[in-house]
Amino acid sequence: MTEINEPKPNTFYVEVSGSGLPEVDGLFVPSTAPPVESESGTVSSPGYWNGKMAWDRADGKAARSPAISYSNSYQSWRISRLDGHLAYDITSDDAMPPTDREWHVYKKGVSPAPRVLVHHFDPRKPCPQPNVVFVLGGPGAGKGTMCELAESQLGWTHLSMGDLLRAERQAGGPTAAVIEEFAIAGKLVTNEIAVTLLKNTMELLTRTTGKYNFLLDGFPRSLANLDGWNQAMGKQMELPKMLFFECPYPVLENRILSRAKYTGRSDDNTDSLKLRFDTFKAETLPTVEFFRGKNRCVEIDTSQDRQTVYDLVSSHLAEYTEISFAAKPLTERAEMLLGLRPFPKDAPAS
């Protein structure tokens, strides 16, 4: 008989949706099934089954407990129906139910197989507030490069306002056409679109990754954005710190035109750059001035070499960066971004 030695508490929640058997859909909470010996001889413990985490239906309607569990005999994760019969499974030795692959319809299941999402926090409760640092600078100032480095090397989550908007455009949602019009004209999207997109993305990532530290690249682009942020996030939330990347216009222009041959972006051209920079000066610089007045703005000269800029960025994020990340060796990609090794000929620089 195999026993589990004091496993870490199961604090995760599983959401199942889109099943061809609607009764399977719903929220699943850490299992409270009493200790019992499984078919493989493993003794369960609260929140666990067969040595892996397990879950019960939150509504308590399932005849089987746990309702989501791992089978050592079949080396698969399984989801049961309300009557206890197995409905869906997936062959995997992952520590958690896979969320990035399609599940299999089992004997008592009905197609299609459901989508599975793992939450780090109880989705029935408000999402924990994020720790946010705003990152602003003109187009080509190095925001994307430095944020990517902070994400891969320091464990921060990088959210680019531009990337989020481009993704929305490509997805063809209800706001896609509006976003496209604003992008071509070099103007800022509406406050409602920007803030809603950011808030929803941060909440989803916080719940599904457990990470709190966010770098918001290209936000707030206007004082109206900031007002919308305060309304959406709550005025009681401390005003985030801002990293402002300063860089002369000729340097910005050279960087943008140099990267245009790689990005394929419709706004990486001389005319759009001029419009974007004019918009930046008119609408974003007043926001920077506001943060300066509140002593919440850290200014970094990004015309310097990348290693110097990265060292400055790292030092200003150190307060919230986990020590384990701070000591992490540079990845090959990071070395390329810092100019310490060349990019492969078919791999564009950021």
Extract the annotated binding site: 140-145, 166, 187-189, 218-221, 259, 265, 276, 304
Q: Which two tokens stand for residue 121?
A: 């926090």
**Contact call for residues 15 and 67 (beta carbons, < 8 A):** no
Cα 178 versus chain centre, distance = 24
Q: How far apart are CA 199 and CA 221, in angstroms?
A: 15
Q: What is the 3-state secondary structure (H, E, C) of 172-208?
A: CCCCHHHHHHHHHHCCCCCHHHHHHHHHHHHHHHHHH
Q: How far apart are CA 288 and CA 41, in angstroms?
A: 63
Residue for token digits 């941060």? Answer: 202
Closest C-alpha among 302, 161, 291 to residue 219: 161
CA distances from 268 to 55, 121, 140, 249 (A): 49, 40, 10, 15
Q: Which residues pair with 13 in a beta bridge?
A: 119
**Contact call for residues 119 and 126 (beta carbons, < 8 A):** no
Q: How far apart are CA 304 and CA 215, in angstroms?
A: 21
- Angle at which helix 223-233 crosses helix 191-209, to 10 degrees, equals 50
Q: Which residues are annotated as a binding site for ATP?
A: 140-145, 259, 304
Q: Which residues pair with 137 in a beta bridge?
A: 245
Q: Which residues are annotated as a binding site for AMP?
A: 166, 187-189, 218-221, 265, 276
Q: Which two tokens stand for residue 324?
A: 């384990």
Assign 333 to helix, strand or coil: helix
